[in-house]
């Protein structure tokens, strides 16, 4: 485990009972989250594994479950399980990347608790998944499936490492079909969080998702960020 340094930062509260960790170099600067849910605390992806973060988790009741949104978020999953005794939840197509660990795998959906559910949203990677929490008007932890663009709006992003772009667009549509303004208020993304300008989450999440032109997005055939060319907002309706 890395030793604590003078520049290490504490996780910060971004929504009620939800903390965001500082970016983790082991996951290309991704942001992990911690959901405090009575005795069922959930870690979403792997934070930098150092003394500060371990102490924070212990002070807040420990970790029951580590949910991995995609294969790029695995990082120190083994060390985290050894230190906390948590179970690991991952979509079945990426479970082979964690041999010898105590895993719970799922195909399409998995009910973690009465208020939290895992959803398979393939595209960014074969097992890319989101975690949905009904608290705070609905919070979706999207991993790298949906990221903020420079304006802070949620968009899918195509990169040279994208597994299957059409499937990723279909997964975005499945989220739009599943939720509503009353059930999806926030998105907590795993990257590009600097574009949120300190807000910590994307608000009006469902409304902003419905502004995406997924047809234009699907036609993007170049490996570049969708935010620069592939997503166009639909005209706002009158009133």
- Euclidean distance between CA atoms 198 and 112, whole angstroms: 29
pLDDT bracket for residue 234 (50, 70, 90): very low
Is the model's pLDDT at 7 over the cut of 90? no
Res 2: pLDDT = 55
pLDDT digits (tens, 9 = 90+) for 40-91: 899 999 999 999 999 999 999 999 999 999 999 999 999 999 999 999 999 9
Answer whether 35's CB lies under 8 Å from 41's CB. Answer: yes
pTM across the whole model: 0.88
Strand residues in the chain grouped as ranges (E): 12-15, 18-20, 33-35, 42-44, 65-67, 87-91, 103-106, 109-111, 116-120, 129-133, 139-143, 147-148, 154-155, 186-189, 202-203
- Please give the pLDDT value at position 9: 84
Segment holding 205, helix H or strand E:
helix 205-209
Q: Where are the beta strands (DSSP E) in 123-170?
A: 129-133, 139-143, 147-148, 154-155
- Please state, in angstroms and rounded to a whole number, the distance separating the CA atoms of residues 59 and 191: 26
Tell whether the model's pLDDT for residue 103 goes beyond 80.
Answer: yes
Measured distance CA(15)–CA(91) in Å, rounded: 26
Question: What percent of the chain is modeled with pLDDT above 90?
Answer: 79
SS3 of residue 35 by DSSP: strand
pLDDT band for 227, please (50, 70, 90 cuts): very low
Quote the pLDDT of residue 219: 84
Q: Residue 225: its pLDDT value, please?
A: 44
Can you give the pLDDT at residue 8?
Answer: 62
In the prediction, which pLDDT does 197 show? 84
pLDDT one-digit tens code per residue, 122-170: 999 999 999 999 999 999 999 999 999 999 999 999 988 899 999 999 9
| 3-state class (DSSP) for residue 234 | coil
- Per residue in 192-204, pLDDT tens? 888 998 888 999 9
Name all domains of the chain by residue range, CATH numbers in brackets. Answer: 12-229 (3.60.15.10)
């Amino acid at each position: 485990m890395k030793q604590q340094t003078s520049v290490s930062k504490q996780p910060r509260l971004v929504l009620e009972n939800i903390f965001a960790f500082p970016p983790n170099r082991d996951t290309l600067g991704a942001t992990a989250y911690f959901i405090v849910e009575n005795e069922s605390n959930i870690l979403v992806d792997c934070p930098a594994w150092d003394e500060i973060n371990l102490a924070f988790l212990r002070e807040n009741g420990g970790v029951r479950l580590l949910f991995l949104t995609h294969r790029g978020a695995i990082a120190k999953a083994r060390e985290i399980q050894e230190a906390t005794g948590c179970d690991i939840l991952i979509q079945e197509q990426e479970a082979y990347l964690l041999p010898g660990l105590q895993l719970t795998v799922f195909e399409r959906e998995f009910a973690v608790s009465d208020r939290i559910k895992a959803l398979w949203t393939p595209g960014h990677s074969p097992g890319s998944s989101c975690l949905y929490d009904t608290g705070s008007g609905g919070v979706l932890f999207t991993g790298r499936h949906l990221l903020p663009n420079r304006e802070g709006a949620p968009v899918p992003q195509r990169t040279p490492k994208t597994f299957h772009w059409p499937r990723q667009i279909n997964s975005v549509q499945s989220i739009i079909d599943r939720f509503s303004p009353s059930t999806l208020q926030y998105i907590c993304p795993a990257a590009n969080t600097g574009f949120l300008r300190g807000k910590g989450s994307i608000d009006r999440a469902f409304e902003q998702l419905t502004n995406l032109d997924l047809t234009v997005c699907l036609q993007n055939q170049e490996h570049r960020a969708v935010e620069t060319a592939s997503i166009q907002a639909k005209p706002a309706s009158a009133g």
